[in-house]
Amino acid sequence: MRKFYLILLLFSTVGCASSNLNERGLVTEQAMVVSAHPLASAVGADILRRGGNAVDAAVAVQFALAVVYPDAGNLGGGGFLVLRLQDRRIDALDYREKAPAAAHRNMYLNEKGEVIKGLSVKGHLAAGVPGTVDGMVQVHEKYGSLPWRELVQPAVLLAARGFPLTKLEAKKLNENRKDFIRYSTQRPDFILKSRWKKGDTLRLKELASTLERIRDKGRAGFYEGPTAQLIVAEMQRGKGLISKADLQNYSAVWRSPLTGTYKDYTVISMPPPSSGGLALLQLLTITSDYPVADWGWNTTKTAHFMIEAERRVYADRAKHLGDPDFYQVPVAGLLDKTYLKRRMCNFSLKHATDSDDIAPGEPGPPEAKHTTHYSIVDQQGNAVSVTTTLNSSFGSKVFVGGAGFLLNNEMDDFSIKPGHPNTYGLLGGDANAVESGKRMLSSMTPTILEKDGNLFMVVGSPGGSTIITSVYQTILNVTAHNLPMQGAVNAGRFHHQWEPDVVLAEKKAFTLGRFLGLWWKGHKVIPLSRTIGRVDAILVLPDGKLEGGADPRGDDAAAGF
């Protein structure tokens, strides 16, 4: 009888593999924006129509998302931006949050050295110094073409006039109401109504005023003057650490993008302090030695191989990755082809490896020395790939009183105690320990692919630790399995991160036969009732048109012309 129930349970939890793999997304002739919210995509497309370039559109979309998608769109968070101009110049901007100067290694531990539950996740101590506004100012100064004011103004209008809530957003605001009240010291506009429903207009007066200051004064509209004073006052009321000096000293950093090749493609992605680009390149380099295209999409064999590669790559991440300004990350050693081949030497096609038998590798020495993603391509062929976040959905749940925006809870991305998993179950050690002024390790993977020297794909995702594997799978879905962009985004996802030693799988990732096949090989596959990642991507088609892949797991939408 028990067996019968188990089989019944399996049938009800594991669905049939994705049926919409061959779906095509919106196809446009010239330019496109794909983001987590239709209103933000529309703002970006409008900037492009007015002659703005992809960077102008990226700035406008970042600010629009801060209004219409407060779960992850933000002023009080940070992110990473990778760009490729039509003349093939590439660049990467790190506007990741930093630990406040007063932060220290043991700040989340009690006298006994035990982790104080929740302290790095909710409330004022969870917040790092926000990087978003400086990031937007810097990218605009270097690459923008339209006046700054015109890029912030659409967000001002959305906040001041209000906008209709989607069903999903209304639900999430309701679910988080209690936390907003508990962790914020003053009542934000977001809780004016006790129960939001689809179509309700959300008007955000305080946020509109903050955005006006940013529109009129740029960087100083946030890191100085009234906004800075409101942030510092909020910190004082809630016993947080971010000071006036932390805000003044914050600066986004230009970094050299991490590049590598996978088959015929050049992959351009984010270097540390994100682990995303490095882990993605490790995964793709390993994959280039295996015939995954012949094995087929999400077959037992393909998935088994991918899980085994992921297990090894995430073990490396736990030990070797951190903020390069504080810790020498052995980037070249970790990407070395011979090193990666060695990592796979105990891989068997027959059965799963136990994660306890996989330790982080020993690469060569260091060389001297609820997130959201959006993808943009403009009429000239410039491409921008941005992943930005507050960390968890609605970050620390702390609204800056009087300023109308949420602060991040990015401090939890540090390893707050060696061996203690963060919200995403990720482990870490010295490389990613909390230090004053340090940036916490990220998994964000904004990526651009070239084929034969031409722009091919712009891609990225939210999803904490699952970001890297979502981007990896989406790239393989197109390059190895020939799916259209939308189909590649629709396709069911799965994820392994070394520890915990389980495979998380969306119900539509595997047929029952493949699911059982993976168990047979020794993989602990857990069918999820929730989804993994929210990929927003753009593919350049052979005739030069653009195909959008907007993730149906959310309200995501493509817009363009």
| Active site members | 371
**Among the listed residues 272, 463, 484, 492, the single contact to ligand DON using CB under 6 A:** 463
Distances 233 to 38, 179, 186 between C-alpha atoms, Å = 34, 20, 11
Report d(CA 15, CA 474) in Å as an integer: 20
Which residues, 6 or more positions from 104, have their beta carbon under 8 angstroms from its beta carbon? Answer: 434, 435, 436
444 binds ligand DON (CB under 6 A): yes
Residues 385-424, mask of contacts with ligand DON (x by CB under 6 A): ----x-x------------------x--x-----------
- 553 near ligand DON, rule: CB under 6 A: no
Among 266, 382, 442, 477, binds ligand DON (CB under 6 A): 442
Among 15, 150, 178, residue whose Cα is nearest residue 508: 15
Tokens read off for 499: 């520890």
The torsion angles phi and psi of 134, rounded to 5 degrees, stand at -65, -40
Task: Report the distance separating Cα 171 and Cα 198, nearest Å.
Answer: 8
Instruction: Find how far residue 392's CA is from the centre of its chain.
Output: 11
> Which segment (100-108, 131-139, 441-449, 514-522) binds ligand DON by CB under 6 A?
441-449
- Give the C-alpha distances (Å, rounded to integers) separating 349 from 135, 304, 379, 382, 497: 45, 8, 46, 42, 19
Question: Is the sign of the CA dihedral 117, 121, 123, 128 positive or negative?
Answer: positive
Sign of CA pseudo-dihedral 34, 39, 40, 43: positive
Length of the chain: 561
Instruction: Please give the Cα distance from 155 to 132 (Å, whole number).
Output: 14
Contact flags string 342-381 toward ligand DON, x per CB under 6 A: ----------------------------xx----------
Whether the Cβ atoms of residue 320 and residue 334 lie closer than 8 Å to each other: yes
Cβ 391 to ligand DON, closest distance in Å? 4
When the beta carbons of 266 and 432 are compared against ligand DON, the nearer one is: 432
User: How big, in percent rounded to 5, are the helix, strand and coil portions of the chain?
Assistant: 40, 15, 45
Residues 6+ apart with CB under 8 A from 512: 10, 11, 14, 16
Q: Which of 250, 252, 203, 253 is nearest to 231 (CA)?
A: 250
Q: Which residues pair with 33 in a beta bridge?
A: 376, 559
Give CA 5 to chain center in angstroms: 38
* Nearer of residues 23 and 412 to ligand DON, judged by Cβ: 412
Span interacting with ligand DON, options 55-63, 397-405, 456-464, 513-521, rule CB under 6 A: 456-464
Give yes or no for residue 504 binding ligand DON (CB under 6 A).
no
**Which residue lies nearer to ligand DON by CB, 73 or 462?**
462
User: Per CB under 6 A, does 464 bind ligand DON?
Assistant: yes
Residue with Cβ nearer ligand DON (48 or 390) = 390
Q: Of the listed pieces 142-150, 204-212, 329-337, 442-450, which binds ligand DON according to CB under 6 A? A: 442-450
Q: Which is nearer to ligand DON, 70 or 463 (CB)?
A: 463
C-alpha distances in angstroms, 272 versus 258, 323, 421? 9, 6, 20
Q: Is 2 left (phi over 0), alpha (psi -120 to 50) or beta?
A: alpha
Minimum distance from residue 308 beta carbon to ligand DON (Å): 23
Instruction: Return the SS3 of 268.
Output: strand
- Report in angstroms how near the CB of residue 128 gets to ligand DON at its nearest: 10
The secondary structure of residue 274, as a DSSP letter, is B
Nearest alpha-carbon partner for 103 in 326, 295, 335, 289: 326
DSSP label of 89? -
Closer residue to ligand DON (CB): 25 or 463 = 463
Identified binder of ligand DON from the candidate list 242, 377, 467, 505, rule CB under 6 A: 467
- Minimum distance from residue 444 beta carbon to ligand DON (Å): 5
Query: Is residue 299 near ligand DON by the rule CB under 6 A?
Result: no
Kindly indicate which of the ranges 85-93, 120-128, 439-447, 450-458 contains the residues binding ligand DON, using the contact rule CB under 6 A: 439-447
Minimum CB–partner distance for residue 375 and ligand DON (Å): 16
**Of the listed pieces 256-264, 457-465, 471-479, 550-558, which binds ligand DON according to CB under 6 A?**
457-465
DSSP 3-state assignment of 164?
strand
Count of positions on this chain that bind ligand DON (CB under 6 A)? 13
Q: How many CA atoms lie within 13 A of 444 on its CB side?
A: 35
Q: Closest distance between ligand DON and the C-beta of residue 445, in Å?
A: 9
Residue (28 or 371) nearer to ligand DON, CB: 371
Which residues between 24 and 63 bind ligand DON (CB under 6 A)?
none
Under the binding rule (CB under 6 A), the answer on residue 74 touching ligand DON is no
Report the residue from 18, 74, 443, 470 that binds ligand DON according to the rule CB under 6 A. 443
How many helical (H) and strand (E) elements, i.e. helices and strands, does the chain have? 18, 19
Measured from the CB atom, is 465 or 479 closer to ligand DON? 465
Shortest distance in whole angstroms from residue 285 CB to ligand DON: 21
- Which residue is nearest to ligand DON, using beta carbons? 371
| CB closer to ligand DON out of 44 and 464 | 464
Contact between 547 and ligand DON by CB under 6 A: the answer reads no
Is 462 among the residues that bind ligand DON (CB under 6 A)? Answer: yes
Provide the binding-site residues for ligand DON, judged by CB under 6 A: 370-371, 389, 391, 410, 413, 442-444, 462-464, 467
